[in-house]
């Protein structure tokens, strides 16, 4: 199965908790970030292909995902950078 994770937001409503991180990189408990929780759920339900759309703090988000990607070796992950065109 395939999934798309939208991870392009600015974290403006949770700025104090975000401490400059993208929402997906924020720790939601002592050992788990939001993105790792999502990936764990997708892995549990046998998703094999995941595309993660990044935007705000794209480089930091991509670096973070690259760091944790070894924990999800059964998932083929792709990163797609989104930019607003005005």
Q: 24-79, pLDDT tens digit by residue?
A: 788 888 888 888 999 999 999 999 999 999 887 888 888 888 888 888 888 998 88
Q: Half-sphere exposure (CA, 13 Å, Cβ side) for 5?
A: 24
Task: Classify residue 86: in a domain, yes or no.
Answer: no
DSSP secondary structure letter of residue 57: B
CB count, 10 Å around CB of 56? Answer: 16
> What pLDDT shows up at residue 68?
85
Encoded tokens for 71: 């924990």
Domain of residue 36 covers: 2-81
> What pLDDT shows up at residue 33?
86
Look at the chain and report how many structural domains it folds into. Answer: 1
Does the pTM exceed 0.85?
Answer: no
CATH number at residue 9: 3.90.550.10
CB count, 10 Å around CB of 31? Answer: 7
């Amino acid at each position: 199965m395939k999934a798309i994770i939208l991870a392009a937001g600015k974290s403006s409503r949770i700025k104090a908790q975000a401490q400059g991180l993208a929402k997906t990189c924020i720790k939601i408990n002592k050992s788990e970030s939001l993105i790792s929780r999502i990936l764990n759920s997708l892995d549990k339900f046998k998703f094999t292909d995941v595309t993660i759309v990044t935007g705000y703090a794209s480089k930091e988000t991509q670096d973070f995902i690259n760091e944790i990607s070894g924990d999800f070796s059964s998932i083929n992950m792709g990163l797609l950078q989104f930019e607003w065109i005005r």
